[in-house]
Chains A and B, each alone.
Chain A
């Protein structure tokens, strides 16, 4: 608990430093804001449920960056070619991640990955699944979604 408070407080302090653009004259207000933000974050997102493994973060960010560049490039090419490049389809993907933050993160990140947009997250206990809209039905979206799932599982230190 103390560890979590310390890390979150440090994070919010860094955030304040960035927002104040490094100026030092606002730190009285800043420390109040940091304490308030830490308190609110613990109240709204209690620690221990799904904590991010900092060690897994760089790999996740690298994965996210490469794939969002790929996704943007792919959709840009399709836009240049017009609707002839599309063969859209709906797809239902069973989710192996635990409910809560991991599933929501998966849904949101998939909308920024190549070819997919999340349409509906059905967070049932035994049969969690995600309805996706796919730009072209021949895209290897399932394999890519599984890769993302592994990254998110590693990020939260859970199994998928």
Chain B
């Protein structure tokens, strides 16, 4: 089973790179915030796959924490740091 796990993990990694580049290109600040979403979903996906492939169960905990931080960090950023950034 490890073969499929590894292939899917690498596939997601490629996906993440392409999506991050696309989000970073903008054009608006809102588009760049999409990167926070990408880490939350694709990032966790890669981590859980790697936990299985490399047999490091602790990576599942890392994925859990990452998903949690994606929620807290994203909302906090949008609520506070971004306020008053009128020039998009």
Direct contact of A and B (CB under 8 A): yes
Residues of B41-67 at the interface with A, using a CB-CB cut-off of 8 Å, are 57, 61, 64
A123 shortest CB reach to chain B, Å = 16
Q: Could you list some 3 contacts between A and B, CB below 8 A? A: A19-B61, A19-B64, A21-B57
Q: Which residues from chain B contact A19 at a C-beta distance below 8 Å?
A: 61, 64
Please list the residues of chain B having a beta carbon within 8 angstroms of any beta carbon in chain A: 57, 61, 64
Query: Which label, helix, strand, loop or mixed, suits the secondary structure of the B interface?
Result: helix
Residues of A that sit less than 8 Å from B by CB: 19, 21
Q: How far is the CA of A19 from the CA of B62 in the complex (A)?
A: 12
Contacts of B57 in A (CB 8 A): 21
Cα–Cα distance between A71 and B61 once the two chains are bound (Å): 28
Write out the residue numbers on chain B whose beta carbons fall within 8 Å of the beta carbon of A21: 57
Minimum Cβ distance to chain B for residue A58 (Å): 24
CB distance from B1 to the nearest CB of A (A): 19
A19 vs B57: C-alpha distance when bound (angstroms): 11
Q: Which residue of B lies closest to A21 (CB)?
A: B57
Nearest first, the 3 A-B pairs at minimum CB distance are: A21-B57, A19-B64, A19-B61
Chain A nearest CB: distance from B83 CB in Å?
Answer: 15
User: Which residue of chain A is the closest to B57 with respect to CB atoms?
Assistant: A21
Closest to B60 in A: A21
Min CB gap A8→B, angstroms = 19
Give the distance in Å from the alpha carbon of A94 to the alpha carbon of B64 in the complex: 35
In the complex, A21 Cα to B57 Cα: how many Å? 10
A19 to B61, CA, bound (A): 8
Complex-state Cα separation, A21 to B61, whole angstroms: 11
Give B61's nearest chain A residue, CB to CB. A19
Return chain A residues, CB-CB under 8 Å to B61. 19
User: What residue of chain A has the Cβ atom nearest to residue B64's Cβ?
Assistant: A19
Q: How far is the CA of A62 from the CA of B46 in the complex (A)?
A: 27
Cα separation A19 to B64 with both chains bound (whole Å): 10
Min CB–CB distance B25 → chain A (angstroms): 16
With both chains docked as a complex, state the minimum distance between the C-beta of B19 and any C-beta of chain A, in angstroms. 12
Q: Which residues of the partner chain A approach B64 to less than 8 Å between Cβ atoms?
A: 19
In whole angstroms, how far apart are the Cα atoms of A21 and B51 in the complex?
Answer: 14
